[in-house]
């Protein structure tokens, strides 16, 4: 079924979506743990990179994904905290999710960003209150947008603060349009959400309010930190025109270069392509995604579903991976699998608790050191009957040995649980008793069928829940840098462990 852009727009422009994204998320979490960190430029590190930094550090020229050495050159007083244990960030992220459910269907997009469909909340409010004015910033054509850092083209910021008065020049007719009114009320909902999250978790966030998810996401960071932006659908194409295609969520490096080969660099370059031509050239899935995205509209398949807990459908795959400079031979591969497996067992346990299903297949994916960034190979094996970290490692090695002969050199290894099937609690043996502390250090990918369009280009780093950092080029290794070790979140871990152990003991 192919809706034309206009038909689709007509059908969906009465929706109100809010995209929220926490400001310098890991840095805020660390500031909550140690209040003194709020007063200094703060960088959160993983390996040799600053994965994020607070806005004091940003004011000094430090950016996300800068190497530690570059950040120290820009800001010698920067305080560095090791952020490789993700457990506390995940706990805060989960608390935020719980709060958001009150306002509508929620879809989690990353550890610190979520979409909400607040259409119903807006309709409810419109029945009892006049919308009045909007809260935040209204993007109007002519306002410029810049990229926040050379590392992340999708981090867009407003060039100058848009004076509110300028927006008041808009005609009365325009302001009284139903969609404008809905979005104005949407901006009140966004303000309330941000206030509630702030008072419950002390986390500041920014938000975008629009009639499509894609536009809500694109504008949500324009006035970071701690502010929000509204975009009327009439201005979507003005906003998109000069953006590099890579800024569109869902367009990664691979698709970007395919598009460049056809002379498509800016979003407006896509406008001369019909949906049919895009589908013929880039395939049905990517072609129609590109067509909708270039119009500022959500692809029908990427729309939030109302089904499932909080709009979530069951993940089809849970995988964990690590990338490294070199991992040679089976002994080193085993050591790496031993780091990944405990987390996967833990994730499978939480999955089982939530959905009552257990994975039947274990897939190992690897990337050869000499191969290109996106060239991965996979091998699968039946999930071991008794699922614990060591049997998972052994099975993964059996699978790898079918494919690889020594000597070999990898620079990425991923283990995935797939093929989830319903299982009675007494029929599965998920044993976490000797896994060592749970450290969610690795990138976790949760793939859901309903989000396939986001995954479509396959190289969209935004689609992964916890990101993989090693693929970012960084030749400067911070060998001699002192980094504060965060007190490990052992308490959470041991509580989780106790809960899990007793759960399985009861069975």
Residue 45's nearest CA partner among 482, 491, 498, 502 is: 482
Indicate the residue among 66 and 416 with the shorter CB distance to Mg ion: 66
Binding to ligand DCP by residue 112, rule CB under 6 A? yes
- Judged by CB under 6 A, the residue of 24, 81, 158, 327 near ligand DCP is 24
Minimum gap (Å) between residue 319 Cβ and ligand DCP: 17
- Judged by CB under 6 A, the residue of 15, 16, 23, 75 near ligand DCP is 23
For the CA atoms of 286, 289, 294, 298, the dihedral, rounded to the nearest 10 degrees, stands at -160
Binding to ligand DCP by residue 26, rule CB under 6 A? yes
DSSP 49-84: EEEEE-HHHHHTT--TTEEHHHHHHH-TT-EEEE--
Minimum gap (Å) between residue 224 Cβ and ligand DCP: 5
Letters for 263-302 (x = contact with ligand DCP by CB under 6 A, - = none) are: ----------------------------------------
Letters for 68-107 (x = contact with ligand DCP by CB under 6 A, - = none) are: ----------------------------------------
Minimum gap (Å) between residue 111 Cβ and ligand DCP: 5
* Count of residues engaged in binding ligand DCP, rule: CB under 6 A: 17
Q: β-strands 228-230, 137-138: how paired? A: parallel
DSSP state of 230: E
Indicate the residue among 111 and 392 with the shorter CB distance to ligand DCP: 111
- Residues within window 125-184 making contact with ligand DCP, judged by CB under 6 A: 155
DSSP 36-47: GGGGS-EEEEET
Structure tokens at 82: 């090791």
Contact (CB, 8 A) for 83 and 51: yes
Contact (CB, 8 A) for 482 and 78: no
- Residues within window 45-64 making contact with ligand DCP, judged by CB under 6 A: 51-52, 64
Binding region for ligand DCP (CB under 6 A) out of 18-26, 159-167, 240-248, 327-335:
18-26
3-state DSSP percent of the chain in helix, strand and coil, to 5: 45, 25, 35
Contact (CB, 8 A) for 187 and 104: no
Indicate the residue among 17 and 55 with the shorter CB distance to Mg ion: 55
Binding to ligand DCP by residue 323, rule CB under 6 A? no
Minimum gap (Å) between residue 226 Cβ and Mg ion: 11
Indicate the residue among 431 and 468 with the shorter CB distance to Mg ion: 468
Binding to ligand DCP by residue 207, rule CB under 6 A? no
Indicate the residue among 111 and 232 with the shorter CB distance to Mg ion: 111
Farthest CA pair distance, the chain: 73
- Judged by CB under 6 A, the residue of 19, 158, 467, 489 near ligand DCP is 467
Contact (CB, 8 A) for 55 and 41: no
Structure tokens at 353: 């608790």
- Residues within window 337-376 making contact with Mg ion, judged by CB under 5 A: none
Letters for 1-30 (x = contact with Mg ion by CB under 5 A, - = none) are: --------------------xx--x-----
Binding to ligand DCP by residue 21, rule CB under 6 A? yes
How buried is 113 (Cβ within 10 angstroms: 0-12 exposed, 13-18 middle, 19+ buried)? buried
Q: Is the dihedral of CA 389, 392, 397, 403 positive or negative?
A: negative
Minimum gap (Å) between residue 149 Cβ and Mg ion: 13
Q: What are the residues whose beta carbons fall under 8 Å from the beta carbon of 308, sequence distance 6 or more?
A: 314
Letters for 75-114 (x = contact with Mg ion by CB under 5 A, - = none) are: -------------------------------------x--
Minimum gap (Å) between residue 112 Cβ and Mg ion: 4
Three-class secondary structure assignment of 157-175: EECCCCCHHHHHCCCHHHH
Minimum gap (Å) between residue 485 Cβ and ligand DCP: 17
Instruction: Select from ligand DCP, Mg ion, none the partner in contact with residue 194, using the beta carbon and a kind-dependent cut-off of 5 to 8 Å.
Output: none
Binding to ligand DCP by residue 22, rule CB under 6 A? yes
Q: How far is CA 434 from CA 62, 137, 387, 437, in A?
A: 41, 53, 12, 9
DSSP 239-308: HHTTSBGGGSTT--HHHHHHHHHTT--BGGGGGGS-HHHHHHHH-HHHHHHHHHHHTT---GGGSPPS-S
Binding to Mg ion by residue 31, rule CB under 5 A? no
**CB hemisphere CA count around 229 (13 angstroms):** 28
Minimum gap (Å) between residue 142 Cβ and ligand DCP: 25
Residue 184's nearest CA partner among 137, 239, 252, 142 is: 137
Contacting residues toward Mg ion, per CB under 5 A: 21-22, 25, 112
- Positions that interact with ligand DCP (CB under 6 A): 21-26, 51-52, 64-65, 111-112, 155, 224-225, 467, 469
């Amino acid at each position: 079924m192919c809706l034309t852009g206009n038909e689709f727009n007509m059908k969906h422009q009465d929706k109100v979506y809010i995209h929220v994204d926490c400001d310098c998320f890991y840095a805020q979490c660390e500031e909550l743990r140690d209040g003194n960190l709020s007063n200094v430029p703060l960088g959160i590190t993983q390996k040799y990179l600053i994965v994020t930094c607070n806005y004091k550090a940003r004011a000094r020229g430090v950016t996300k994904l800068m190497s530690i050495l570059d950040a120290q050159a820009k800001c010698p007083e920067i305080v560095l905290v090791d952020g490789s244990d993700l457990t506390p960030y995940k706990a805060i992220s989960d608390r935020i999710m719980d709060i958001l459910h009150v306002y509508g269907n929620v879809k989690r997009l990353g550890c610190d960003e979520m979409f909400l469909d607040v259409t119903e909340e807006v309709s409810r409010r419109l029945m009892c209150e006049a919308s009045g004015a909007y809260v935040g910033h209204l993007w109007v054509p002519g306002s410029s947008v810049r990229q926040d850092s050379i590392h992340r083209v999708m981090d867009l910021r407003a060039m100058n603060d848009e004076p509110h008065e300028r927006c008041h020049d808009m005609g009365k007719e325009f302001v009284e349009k139903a969609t404008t009114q809905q979005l104005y009320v949407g901006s009140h909902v966004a303000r309330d959400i941000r206030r509630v999250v702030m008072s419950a978790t002390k986390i500041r966030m920014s938000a975008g309010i629009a009639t499509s998810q894609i536009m809500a996401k694109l504008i949500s960071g324009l006035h970071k930190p701690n502010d929000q932006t509204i975009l009327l659908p009439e201005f979507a194409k003005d906003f998109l025109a000069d953006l590099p295609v890579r800024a569109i969520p869902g367009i990664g490096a691979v698709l970007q270069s395919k598009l460049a080969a056809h002379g498509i660099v800016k979003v407006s370059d896509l406008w001369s392509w019909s949906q049919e031509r895009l589908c013929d050239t880039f395939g049905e899935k990517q072609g129609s995604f590109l067509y909708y995205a270039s119009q500022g509209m959500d692809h029908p398949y990427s729309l939030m579903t109302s089904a499932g807990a909080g709009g979530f459908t069951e993940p089809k795959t849970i995988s964990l991976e690590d990338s490294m400079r070199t991992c040679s031979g089976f002994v080193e591969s085993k050591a790496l699998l031993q780091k990944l497996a405990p987390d996967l067992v833990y994730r499978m346990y939480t999955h089982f608790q939530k959905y009552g299903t257990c994975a039947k297949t274990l897939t190992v994916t690897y990337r050869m050191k000499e191969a290109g960034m996106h060239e991965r190979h996979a091998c699968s094996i039946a999930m071991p009957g008794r699922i614990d970290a060591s049997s998972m490692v052994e099975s993964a090695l059996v699978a790898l040995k079918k494919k690889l002969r020594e000597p070999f050199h990898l620079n990425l290894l991923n283990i995935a649980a797939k093929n989830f099937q319903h299982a009675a609690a007494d029929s599965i043996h998920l044993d976490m008793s000797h896994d060592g502390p749970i450290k969610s250090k690795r990138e976790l990918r949760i793939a859901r069928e309903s989000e396939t369009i986001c995954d479509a280009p396959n190289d969209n780093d935004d689609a992964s829940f916890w990101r993989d950092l090693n693929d970012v080029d960084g030749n400067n290794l911070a060998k001699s840098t002192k980094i504060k070790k965060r007190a490990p979140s052992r308490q959470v871990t041991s509580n989780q462990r106790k809960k899990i152990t007793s759960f399985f003991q009861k069975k």
